[in-house]
Chain A
Amino acid sequence: MTATKLIELAARRFGADPRQLKPADDMFETLGIDSFQAADLMTEVELEFDVEIPDYELQGIKTFQALADKIDARR
Chain B
Amino acid sequence: MTEDARIGDVLGWTFQDGVYELTLDQAPCNEIGARMLEALEGFLDSITPNLDSAHALIIRSALRSGFCAGADLRALYRGLQEAESASGRRQLAQFIDRIHAVMDRLDTLPLVTVGVINGICFGGGLELALTCDILIAEKSARFAFPELRLGIVPGFGGIPRLKREVGNAVVRDLLLTGRSVNARKAQAVGLVSQLVPVGEGLTAARALAKQAAKFDPTARVAAKRFIKPLPRAELHEEKRLFLELASRPTLMEALKRFVESEDVRPYLP
Task: Tell me, rounded to whole Å, the shortest Cβ–Cβ distance linking A31 to chain B.
Answer: 10
Instruction: List, in ascending order, chain B residues with CB within 8 A of A43's CB.
Output: 139-142, 182-183
Nearest A-chain residue to B173, judged by Cβ = A54
Q: Are A55 and B268 in contact (CB under 8 A)?
A: yes
CB interface residues, B 77-108, toward A, < 8 Å: none
Task: Tell me, rounded to whole Å, the shortest Cβ–Cβ distance linking A75 to chain B.
Answer: 16
Q: How far is the CA of A43 from the CA of B140 in the complex (A)?
A: 6
Q: Tell me whether A20 is interfacial, beta carbon within 8 Å.
A: no
Q: How far is the CA of A40 from the CA of B97 in the complex (A)?
A: 33
Q: Tell me whether B28 is interfacial, beta carbon within 8 Å.
A: yes
Q: Are A59 and B268 in contact (CB under 8 A)?
A: yes
CB interface residues, B 115-155, toward A, < 8 Å: 119-120, 139-142, 144
Instruction: List, in ascending order, chain B residues with CB within 8 A of A40's CB.
Output: 119, 140, 142
Count class of interface residues, chain A: 10 to 19
Main secondary structure of the interface of B (DSSP, over half): loop
Instruction: List, in ascending order, chain B residues with CB within 8 A of A59's CB.
Output: 268
User: Which residue of A34, A47, A56 contacts B139 across the interface (Cβ within 8 Å)?
Assistant: A47
Q: Are B119 and A55 in contact (CB under 8 A)?
A: no
Instruction: List, in ascending order, chain A residues with CB within 8 A of B69's CB.
Output: 36
Task: Tell me, rounded to whole Å, the shortest Cβ–Cβ distance linking A69 to chain B.
Answer: 18
User: Which residue of B66, B181, B184 contacts A36 across the interface (Cβ within 8 Å)?
Assistant: B66
Task: Tell me, rounded to whole Å, the shortest Cβ–Cβ distance linking B269 to chain A.
Answer: 5
Which of A36, A47, A52 is packed against the most chain B CB atoms within 10 Å?
Answer: A36
Q: Are B28 and A36 in contact (CB under 8 A)?
A: yes
Task: Tell me, rounded to whole Å, the shortest Cβ–Cβ distance linking B26 to chain A.
Answer: 14
Q: How far is the CA of A33 from the CA of B64 in the complex (A)?
A: 14
Chain B 167-188 interface mask (CB, 8 Å, partner A; 1/0): 0000000000111111111000
Instruction: List, in ascending order, chain A residues with CB within 8 A of B266's CB.
Output: 35
Instruction: List, in ascending order, chain B residues with CB within 8 A of A34's CB.
Output: 264
- A35-B265, A36-B28, A39-B142 known; A55-B185 Cβ under 8 A: no
Q: Are A36 and B29 in contact (CB under 8 A)?
A: yes
> Can you spell out 11 A-B residue pairs with CB atoms less than 8 angstroms apart?
A35-B265, A36-B66, A39-B120, A39-B180, A40-B119, A43-B140, A52-B181, A55-B179, A55-B180, A56-B268, A56-B269
5 A-B pairs closest in CB distance:
A36-B65, A28-B264, A54-B179, A55-B179, A43-B182
Instruction: Name A residues whose Cβ lies closer than 8 Å to a Cβ of B.
Output: 28, 33-36, 38-40, 42-43, 46-47, 52, 54-56, 58-59
